[in-house]
Structure 1
C-alpha cells in the first residue's frame, strides 16, 4: 500500500480490496458478514483484501469500534447515504456504441437536464424515452445536473456527499450507462455537472475520521475543501476520471470553481485538466471540460488545445444571461445591478469579446474588480445561455 493508493473498493479476480483514507482514526474495520480489521499503512491509509467479497457485496467501515460509515468513495448506495455501500463491477455492461469517440466542441448545443424532473418517472431509464425528441430539436448534448448520492429521494444535486455514487433514486449504475449508451447511439454527447467546492451536510462523516479534507475557510454552502492535501486532491481527480472512464461521459461541468478556496500549487484545476487530457489521449476520445466561474478568469480557458493540457474548453457565460435578463425583465436586484443602466452595452461587449466584466469594478461586489481580458480568446470558450438551473430554481423568493 502506498500514499498514492486509490480510493474505494477495488474489484479483482481474487476478491475485493477495500481502502479508506482515515488519518484521524486509530482503528478501522470493514463490516461484511462480520468485522474484518484493516491494516494501517502510511499517511492515514487503511486496507484489507477480502477473497470472498465480490460484485454486489454490501459493506460499511467502522471507525474506532464506534461509528459505522459508508465508503466516501462508494460506487453505489442502494439504501441511500446512511446505508451500506455496494461493490460494483464496471466491466459487466455491454456497450452498443464502442466506436463512439465524441463530437467536436464546436458542435455543442446543450440542454441542462435534471434527471428527477425531466420525466414523470424521474429515472435514468425514463429519460431514454425523450432522447429522440432532444435530437429532433437540434440539440447535440445533454448536461446532467449533479447525480452524486444525496440524502433522500429529491435534491437539486448540489448537496452530494458520496461523489462516486450515482444516486439510487435515479436507478442503478448500469441504468446510467444505458442512458449514456442510448444517447451516443443517437449522436448526443452527455456531460455531467460535478461539485468539488463542498460536500453536502447530511450523510457526510469526513469530519470525524478525515478532517484534513477541510480548510478553515467556508463557502456559502459549507466547509471549503483543502486541495493542498495530496490525498484530497487525488480524491477529486480520481472522481473526475471515474465518471469519464466507467460511464463514458463526454465531459464535465465543474460547479462554482470560484468557491475553491484552497486550490494548492499547482492548482487542482490544472492537475485535473492534465489528468483528463491523458485519458483523452490514451483513449482517442474527445473530452470537454467546462467551468462555472464567477471570477471570469479567461486565463483558465483554451477551447482549441486538444486534448486538455491544464486548461478548460469553455466557461458558462453568466454575463450573457444577466445582461439579457436586465434588458428584458428590468430586474436590478442582486448581481443584475451590474448590467444597468444600459444592458445593451454589456451585450455588445459579450458578443464582441467574451465577458462583459474583464477587470472592471463590480457594484454588486462592492466595487471589487471582476474578470480578465477575454478579447483574444476564441468565441468557442463561452457557453452563452438564456436560462439555467440557478436562474430558474434559485430565485430568492421562490418565484419562477
Structure 2
C-alpha cells in the first residue's frame, strides 16, 4: 500500500475522497479552463497558482469528463485513468482501489529468478487474452511477463510507443479492471508482471499538452519521435514519477522497463526517478526498474536493476545470419570476440567508436554483475524494425538458433524471450499503426527512406503498417516443430534454475575468449562452483582445453580427446565443477 503522504504528493488528474471528487490540471499557458461532463453541463475551474487549475464536486465513480480550453478545444485529462470513445473522447473518474486483490500478500520475486517474456497485449487478444496465456507460460518456466506499452494511443492498433495518455490503459486492450485481473492472475501463478513505459516522448497524434502546457516541452529540443520534454521542470518530473507509482501501486506491477532513456537528457532526473519511486513503495516489495539505453551508460547501473543489452543481440545475430548492415556493422569484423567480451564484461563497446557511429559508445562495465544485463535473441525492436519483420528462424539455421537459445538461458545474464519464440514461430512481426491518413502516409514515406538500402524486389513488397492485415499477419503462430522447441526451452529453463539462479547473487566472470571466428568459451564463478559454456556456431571443428567438472547439457557432437575437448560444428556444452 502506498504511503498516504506520497499519494497526496503525487496527486494528478481526477481522484475522489469520500464522495468529493477533485480534478487538477496544469495549464500554465492559459488564464482559464472549464471542465465539462458527458451530460452537457460544465463549470469554470479555479486557478490555484503556478499554472494549476482545480475543481471539486460531489460526483460518483464512472463520471465522464473532459476539459474545455478558451478557444473551444475539448481535451482529455493528461492524467486520465480511463478513457472512453478514444483518446479524443471522455476521461472517466476511476476508483483506484476498486479491485479486491486475491494475492494481496504478493511481494514479487527476486531479480535473480527473472526469465522475461515480452508480449504485445493487442496481438494476444487484449488483457483478457494475455491472462489466458499465463498458465502455459508458467508451466514452461517463465517467471515474468513484460507487456509492451499499454498507455492509450490513437486507434485500435499500435506497438504502444506512440501513446499520449500515459496513465490510462489502452481502451483497445480492455478496462483498468481487466488489467488488474491480469496482474492478479499472474501473481496467483507465481509470475511477476513488468510494464514497458515510454517517458521520453509522446505520440504524434492526440497529444494536446502543446495547446495548454507548451512548457512541458523544451524549446528547440527534438527526439527522433517528436518534441523533446523539459525534464528540468518539477511539474514534468512529478508527472512521470506519479505515473510510474500509479502502475506499481494501483496495478501492482512488479517492475517497469523505461524505453529509450538515452532520449531523456537528464541523468539527474533518472536518478531522482529511481529514488522517489522506490521510496514511495513498501520496502518489502521486490520492485525492479530496467532501462533501455542505446548509449550504454553504465552509470545508471546497478541503481536500476539492469539494462537491455543490445550488444548481445547484435553479436549473436551476426554470428547466426551473417548480416552486417546498419548497426550490425559494429560487430561484423569479429563477432565472436565481441560476444566473448559481452559475456565476460557486459558491453561490447566501452568507450570505443563502432564503425556505424561517429562518436564513442559505452562505458566500462566489467565491474557490474551479470544480472545487470538483459539479453535476448529477438525483441519487438529487432524484429519489427526490419522491412519484412522476419523472425530469427526465417533468417538462420534452426540448429544454430538452438545453440543461441542455450547460450541465452544458461549464461548468467537475465534472459528474455519474445512472444512466439518458445514454440518456434516463423510468422513475421511487423511494425503496425492505426493513424489518420495524413500521418499514415508520412509513416509509409518515412519507413521507405529508412529502408532505402534494401531492395525488396518486384515479387516482394513490404506491408503497409496502417492496414489491419499487417496487424493480423503479426500474430505469432507455432511452427511445425513447436513441440521440439517447447521441450528445449523447458529443459534449458529447468537447468538454469537448478545450476545458475541459486548462485546468481554471488556470480562473477572468470573470463571469456573467442576460439577462432565463430566459437566462444566463457566461464563464471557461481558461489563455490565453476560454470563454463562452450559454443561453436561455425561448421569447423574446434578443439580447446577440457573444462573441469562434468558436462550437464549438450547440443551437437563433441568428444573428449587427449589434447582437450573437440567441438564439432554447431555444438554446445555446459560444464559444472
Q: Please tell me the TM-score bracket, short chain as reference.
A: over 0.9
Q: Does residue 41 in structure 1 map to residue 48 in structure 2?
A: yes
- Stretches of structure 2 that go unaligned for 5 or more consecutive residues are 1-7, 391-427, 429-577
Which residues of 2 match residues 247-266 of structure 1 at below 5 A? Answer: 247-261=251-265, 263=266
Which residues of 2 match residues 56-135 of structure 1 at below 5 A? Answer: 56-118=62-124, 122-135=125-138
Match of 2:355 among 363, 366, 388: 363
Give me the whole-angstrom Cα distance separating, in 1, the residues matched to 2:387 and 2:32. Answer: 45
1:167 matched residue in structure 2: 170
Is the contact made by 1:28 and 1:65 (CA closer than 8 Å) also made in structure 2?
A: no
Is the contact made by 2:198 and 2:258 (CA closer than 8 Å) also made in structure 1?
A: yes
Give me the whole-angstrom Cα distance separating, in 1, the residues matched to 2:42 and 2:231. Answer: 32
Which residues of 2 match residues 239-278 of structure 1 at below 5 A? Answer: 239-261=243-265, 263=266, 267-278=268-279
Q: Does residue 21 in structure 1 map to residue 12 in structure 2?
A: no
Q: What's the TM-score once normalised by structure 2's chain length?
A: 0.65
Q: Does residue 179 in structure 1 map to residue 182 in structure 2?
A: yes
List per-residue Cα deviations over 1:162-213 (Å, max 9, x = no partner). Answer: 0000001111001000000000000000000000110001111111100011
Deviation at 1:5, TM superposition (A): 6.7
Secondary structure of the residue aligned to 2:211 is helix
Match of 1:233 among 237, 258, 274: 237
Deviation at 1:75, TM superposition (A): 0.3
Q: Detail structure 1 runs of 4+ shifted over 3 Å in the superposition.
A: 396-400
Is the contact made by 2:197 and 2:259 (CA closer than 8 Å) also made in structure 1?
A: yes
1:379 matched residue in structure 2: 370
Deviation at 1:54, TM superposition (A): 2.0
Secondary structure of the residue aligned to 1:97 is coil
Deviation at 1:246, TM superposition (A): 0.5
2:345 matched residue in structure 1: 353
Deviation at 1:6, TM superposition (A): 2.6
Is the contact made by 1:27 and 1:65 (CA closer than 8 Å) also made in structure 2?
A: no
Match of 2:199 among 177, 196, 201: 196
Is the contact made by 1:7 and 1:21 (CA closer than 8 Å) also made in structure 2?
A: no
Is the contact made by 1:29 and 1:37 (CA closer than 8 Å) also made in structure 2?
A: yes
Give me the whole-angstrom Cα distance separating, in 2, the residues matched to 1:5 and 1:294. Answer: 30
Question: Cα–Cα, structure 1 residues 6 and 279, in superposed 2: closer, same or farther, change >3 Å?
Answer: closer
Match of 1:336 among 292, 306, 328: 328
List per-residue Cα deviations over 1:310-361 (Å, max 9, x = no partner). Answer: x200000000000011111111111110002110001000000111011111
1:395 matched residue in structure 2: 386
Q: Does residue 294 in structure 1 map to residue 300 in structure 2?
A: no
Give me the whole-angstrom Cα distance separating, in 1, the residues matched to 2:294 and 2:367. Answer: 19
Match of 1:9 among 6, 14, 22: 14
Match of 1:220 among 214, 221, 224: 224
Deviation at 1:14, TM superposition (A): 2.9
Secondary structure of the residue aligned to 1:363 is coil
Q: Does residue 327 in structure 1 map to residue 313 in structure 2?
A: no
Give me the whole-angstrom Cα distance separating, in 2, the residues matched to 1:398 and 1:189. Answer: 28
Which residues of 2 match residues 204-215 of structure 1 at below 5 A? Answer: 204-215=207-218
Deviation at 1:152, TM superposition (A): 0.5
Larger Rg: 2
Is the contact made by 1:28 and 1:37 (CA closer than 8 Å) also made in structure 2?
A: yes
Is the contact made by 1:149 and 1:168 (CA closer than 8 Å) also made in structure 2?
A: yes
Secondary structure of the residue aligned to 1:384 is strand
- Stretches of structure 1 that go unaligned for 5 or more consecutive residues are 303-310
Secondary structure of the residue aligned to 1:212 is helix
Secondary structure of the residue aligned to 1:352 is helix
Match of 1:315 among 286, 295, 307: 307
